[in-house]
Amino acid sequence: MMFKGKDFGYKEIGIMIIIAYLFSFAVRLIWVFQFKDVSSFYWNDQLMINTNDGYFFASAVDYLLNGVHADNPRVQIAIDSYPAFVYTSYFLTKYTPMSLETTILYMPSIISSLVVIPIILTGKLLKLPWVGFFSALLGSIAWSYYNRTMTGYYDTDMFSVFLQFTILYLFLLTLYHKDSINILYLSIGLLIYPYYYPQGLSLIYAIFILWVAYQLIFQREEKNSYLFIAIAGIALWNVPILVKILIIGAIFIALNKIEDKLDNKKLLYLSIVSLFMFFIFGDVFQIIWFKIVDYTNKGVKEQGLHFYQVIQTVREAGSISWETVANRIIGGVIPLVISVIGYILLVIRH
């Protein structure tokens, strides 16, 4: 019978994902219904987006579609800095009935609602499918996430949490199931992530370091642990993506031929080399440290004329009350306390 027990099949999980996705998307239509009758909000017969940065990226998409804005030097900056984001918008506009105006209006809701997929799959992985489902319903519309991914908020934020949670799920999947195909999925996620949301690499690096530490402490006897560390480390090297694809492909091909001759000691050496290259090429600790400094720097207190860094003018990085923090994370102080307790119990259990 469907929806019985703790180990749901993919049919039940698929139904959960569809329901959660439609719920997340529907909530994001509130802004559309609120302003659909305001004529000043329209341009080219479509509601305008509600973030200035969106037009920076939309200009790059318009350039790819129609060749306009060729004399704008910032167009190429957008393409070079966020190529996957720009080209995803380009393909949606070119190969679907949506106009550019419609794409940039609804794409935030279309993409950001996909976050329900890794959340629900994580629940399945932990054999807590209903927890995953209700977490997806809540997490997909939490205040801060909703504000930065609502309909019309055409910015890279739509990919940030979705891709980060997807990669977190894939990291967990490789801990629970040591099948070689799982590290391939993870490496693909790590390879494409910087092309969508490069400023989030510090978080990915931190998760990777904890993931490595966990395997070295608790799963060091398993052969695939060292192989997984080596491949994920290569995927995070700060070298051209083609080089990383060729190396990872060569490792998989070689393993099929000499797998029986490899032991943990040899794979350990491979993982050490991979990690060494990761730390050398990735400038890892400096990136993580700079992120911490940036988001804890509240501004200047001395008298006189001073210049502010851009991060000091960002509202999310400013000084806000804990009540506001709780509201933005989960909607209130009490739910935040309950969720923290629940998370601690989950960690203890698993």
The whole-angstrom separation of Cα 311 and Cα 294 is 7
- Please, which residues have CB within 8 angstroms of residue 85's CB and are 6 or more apart in sequence? 57, 156, 159, 195, 196, 197
DSSP run (H or E) holding 46 = strand 46-47
How many other CB atoms sit within 10 Å of the CB of residue 18?
11
Q: Is the pLDDT of residue 211 over 90?
A: yes
Q: Is the pLDDT of residue 340 over 80?
A: yes
Q: Is the pTM of this model over 0.75?
A: yes
Q: Would you state the pLDDT for residue 53?
A: 92
Count the helices and strands in the chain (H runs, E runs): 18, 2
The whole-angstrom separation of Cα 228 and Cα 236 is 12
- pLDDT per residue as tens digits for the range 67-108: 999 899 899 999 999 999 999 999 999 999 999 999 999 999
The whole-angstrom separation of Cα 350 and Cα 348 is 6
Q: Would you state the pLDDT for residue 223?
A: 80
Q: Would you state the pLDDT for residue 312?
A: 55
176 — pLDDT class (breaks 50, 70, 90): very high
The whole-angstrom separation of Cα 86 and Cα 54 is 11
